[in-house]
């Protein structure tokens, strides 16, 4: 996720900014940059790669610097390179902007501004802010009003810091949806996206809220709403240590990433759900819509958790899009000379966009004439670059080796693709609107699950010493059973297997006795009655049943040993809710067993070898 630090005051800001960027590295980034103000002139240095590379690219003779802003970028629009790195400038190199978040209507703003003569250098959404401020200053005459007027025109999310040679005595910061705080020092003020960047210099901070703007000077700061009403800010003391701050106060990155899911789901949907027309808009697939409309067959290929997302995608696309779908492990696909016909569409799902087998599958699919589209998290990754189109999931950097938030965002993107294709193939606008609404409701429902984890922790305590766990699901939740089992084995080293619930009687049932915990995913969908029968089969053999059920479920209560309740949604979105308690269950079991949750033995985050 992008990081922001800015500083104005008596001390030389450059070492402070570079040090702050180092401390933001844990968030994940692909490029970094800095804007410095000295003798009323702006100088900007930016570099793809590490902060250390940025540091060496800055000439040693930087004197009389009075203020600066700096940024680590995690690409969302435009590949990671020097030009797309922040800060971005206006046409006259007088206004520098750094930005976290996504400007949804940047394309329309850019087109308008280009029509008015503005020159754009990068492919980013951020650059429009610099040019909009430049435009607004013509009317307002002052920087603060210009920033306010510019921000009124943008849709989406932002945490920004603005530095200008026109008014060198200030940094302007504003927030909507992306966190920002102000650090109060002695004869200096800071702005940062998280406290880790500045706690070495001050522990006194004021938090900006959405819709607020701050003007930082060397010896003062003031805050207003974006509508120009004054607000008083309380200054708080940050007491937690730096390691804690990096993990957002959570014990592990994996837990942080699980808890982030309401927000990451919102980010995956942002600007893409067209509620009023009951459709989805995915700009990365816009040019290939005819290919998608006419295809007779879809192949989804991936590895690990991404492959499980692909399995859910198969169920979705076949039910709503009425297209035959095959899902295959990338490692198998690449070597078995797959039959691919012209017009076939291949989706490659990969969080990292670098998995060697998935990349090889992409190349094989292209070689055989298929249209190959990536569904990736890391912008500018190899799979994203080599695909002929695709969709970014916008889940932000995932640091825990076991994938969590990327999985739910992959499912959101697959739902959006399904909706788009289904609408092309006859799904009514009314049905489309219901799906859109169900999608938009998901983040709040995930929040409900995350608010009450007491039962999950109690189950984890009971299961922490078992040797095997069986996970069962049907229909859309069969892949969830696979993913729940994968999470447990990856991080707790307990053997776990996922199975389609009805298949249990063709094998795993032989294992069931009073020592065998069986996690059953049993939402009230079209397979509900059948899965109750499967639970009864487990109970008849004295197995321990942990059931994931809907909030209003009454039938399973008397059968199961433990119940975890989740809100209801439409069938095909239920995996996005049902996986959350299973991620938490695996997490708590692993912690109780003393395992290294973020870096499990023998596993790698990005498997770039065969
Ligand atoms: C590794 C990771 C898994 C991930 C898989 C595929 O095995 O540990 O969490 O699901 O790779 O990675 P990708 O980046 O292609 O989604």
Q: Is 91 noted as a catalytic residue in this protein?
A: no
Per-residue pLDDT reduced to its tens digit, 171-213: 999 999 888 999 999 999 999 998 889 988 999 999 898 899 9
**Residue 422 backbone class (left: φ over 0; alpha: ψ -120 to 50; beta: rest):** alpha
Q: What is the rounded radius of gyration, in angstroms, for the C-alpha atoms of the chain?
A: 25
The b/e string for 262-285 (b: 16+ C-beta within 10 A; e otherwise) is bbbbbbbbbbbbbeeebbbebebb
Q: What is the pLDDT of residue 610?
A: 61
Residues of the chain with pLDDT under 50: none
Q: What is the pLDDT of residue 457?
A: 97
Residue nearest to atom 2 of ligand 1 (CA): 605
Per-residue pLDDT reduced to its tens digit, 214-233: 999 999 999 999 999 999 99
**Ligand 1 mean position, distance from CA 377 (Å):** 11
What is the number of the ligand 1 atom nearest to the C-alpha of 302? Answer: 15
What is the number of the ligand 1 atom nearest to the C-alpha of 603? Answer: 8
**CA–CA separation, 104 and 153 (whole Å):** 11
Sign, CA dihedral 512-513-518-522, equals positive
Residue 440's SS3 state is: helix
Residue nearest to atom 5 of ligand 1 (CA): 304
Q: What is the pLDDT of residue 609?
A: 67
Pairing of strands 345-350, 298-302: parallel
Q: Are 30 and 48 in contact (CB under 8 A)?
A: yes
Structure tokens at 135: 């435009």
37 CB-near residues (< 8 Å, 6+ apart): 65, 66, 67, 68, 163, 165, 168
Pairing of strands 230-231, 221-225: antiparallel
| 401 CB near ligand 1 (under 6 Å) | yes
**CA–CA separation, 251 and 261 (whole Å):** 17
Nearest alpha-carbon partner for 587 in 258, 260, 172 = 258
**CA–CA separation, 93 and 336 (whole Å):** 55
| 351 CB near ligand 1 (under 6 Å) | yes
ω into 87 cis (within 30 of 0): yes
124 CB-near residues (< 8 Å, 6+ apart): 77, 78, 84, 86, 88, 106
Q: Is 2 noted as a catalytic residue in this protein?
A: yes
Sign, CA dihedral 354-389-159-132, equals positive
What is the number of the ligand 1 atom nearest to the C-alpha of 383? Answer: 15
577 φ, ψ to 5°? -85, -40
Residue 153's SS3 state is: helix
**CA–CA separation, 49 and 22 (whole Å):** 12
CA dihedral 96, 102, 108, 112 (to 10 degrees): -10
526, burial (CB in 10 Å: exposed 0-12, middle 13-18, buried 19+): exposed
Nearest alpha-carbon partner for 135 in 126, 123, 125, 145 = 145
Nearest alpha-carbon partner for 303 in 258, 360, 345 = 360
Per-residue pLDDT reduced to its tens digit, 61-75: 777 899 999 999 988
33 φ, ψ to 5°? -160, 165
Q: Give the side-chain half-sphere CA count within 13 A for 143.
A: 24
Structure tokens at 527: 């397979």
Helix intervals (H) in 120-180: 127-140, 143-153
């Amino acid at each position: 996720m992008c990081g922001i630090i800015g500083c104005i005051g008596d001390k030389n800001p450059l070492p402070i900014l570079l040090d702050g960027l180092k401390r933001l590295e844990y968030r994940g980034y692909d490029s970094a940059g800095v804007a410095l103000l000295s003798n009323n002139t702006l100088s900007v240095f930016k570099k793809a790669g590490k902060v250390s590379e940025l540091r060496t690219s800055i000439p040693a003779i930087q004197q009389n610097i009075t203020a600066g802003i700096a940024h680590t970028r995690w690409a969302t629009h435009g590949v990671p390179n020097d030009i797309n790195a922040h800060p971005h400038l206006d046409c006259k190199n007088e206004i520098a902007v750094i930005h976290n978040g996504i400007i949804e209507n940047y394309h329309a703003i850019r087109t308008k501004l280009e029509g008015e003569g503005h020159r754009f250098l990068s492919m980013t959404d951020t650059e429009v802010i610099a040019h909009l401020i430049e435009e607004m200053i013509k009317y307002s005459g002052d920087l603060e009003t210009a920033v306010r007027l510019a921000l009124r025109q943008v849709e989406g999310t932002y945490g920004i810091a603005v530095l200008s040679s026109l008014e060198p005595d200030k940094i302007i910061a504003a927030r909507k949806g992306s966190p920002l705080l102000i650090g109060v020092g002695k004869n200096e003020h800071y702005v940062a996206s998280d406290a880790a960047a500045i706690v070495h210099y001050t522990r006194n901070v004021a938090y900006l809220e959405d819709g607020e703007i701050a003007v930082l000077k060397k010896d003062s700061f003031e805050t207003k709403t974006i509508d120009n009403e004054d607000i008083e800010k309380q200054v708080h003391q940050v007491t937690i240590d730096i390691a804690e701050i990096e993990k957002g106060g959570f014990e592990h990155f994996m837990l942080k990433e699980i808890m982030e899911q309401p927000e990451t789901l919102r980010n995956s949907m942002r600007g893409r759900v067209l509620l009023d027309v009951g459709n989805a808009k995915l700009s990365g697939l816009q040019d290939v819509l005819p290919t998608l409309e006419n295809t007779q067959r879809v192949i989804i290929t991936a590895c690990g958790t991404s492959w499980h997302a692909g399995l859910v995608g198969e169920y979705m696309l076949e039910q709503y899009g009425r297209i035959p779908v095959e899902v295959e492990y990338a490692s198998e696909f690449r070597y078995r000379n797959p039959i691919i016909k012209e017009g076939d569409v291949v989706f490659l799902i990969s969080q990292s966009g670098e998995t060697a087998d998935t990349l090889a599958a992409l190349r094989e699919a292209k070689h055989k004439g298929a249209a190959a589209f990536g569904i990736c998290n890391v912008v500018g990754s190899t799979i994203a670059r080599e695909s002929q189109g695709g969709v970014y999931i916008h889940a932000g950097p995932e640091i825990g080796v076991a994938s969590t938030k990327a999985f739910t965002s992959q499912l959101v993107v697959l739902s959006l693709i399904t909706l788009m294709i289904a609408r092309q193939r006859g799904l009514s606008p009314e049905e489309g609107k219901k799906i859109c609404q169900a999608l938009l409701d998901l983040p709040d429902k995930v929040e409900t699950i995350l608010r009450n984890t007491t039962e999950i922790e109690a189950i984890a305590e009971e299961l922490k010493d078992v040797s095997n766990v069986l996970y069962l699901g049907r229909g859309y939740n069969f892949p969830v059973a696979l993913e729940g089992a994968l999470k447990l084995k990856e991080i707790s080293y307990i053997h776990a297997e996922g199975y389609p619930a009805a298949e249990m009687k063709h094998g795993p049932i032989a294992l069931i006795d009073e020592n065998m915990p069986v996690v059953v995913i049993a939402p009230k969908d079209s397979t509900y009655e059948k899965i109750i029968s499967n639970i009864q089969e487990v109970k008849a053999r004295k197995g321990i049943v942990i059931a994931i059920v809907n909030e209003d479920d009454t039938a399973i209560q008397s059968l199961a040993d433990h119940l975890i309740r989740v809100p209801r949604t439409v069938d095909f979105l239920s995996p996005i809710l049902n996986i959350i308690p299973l991620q938490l269950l695996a997490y708590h079991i692993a912690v109780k067993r003393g395992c290294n949750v973020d870096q499990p033995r023998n596993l790698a985050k990005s498997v770039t070898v065969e």
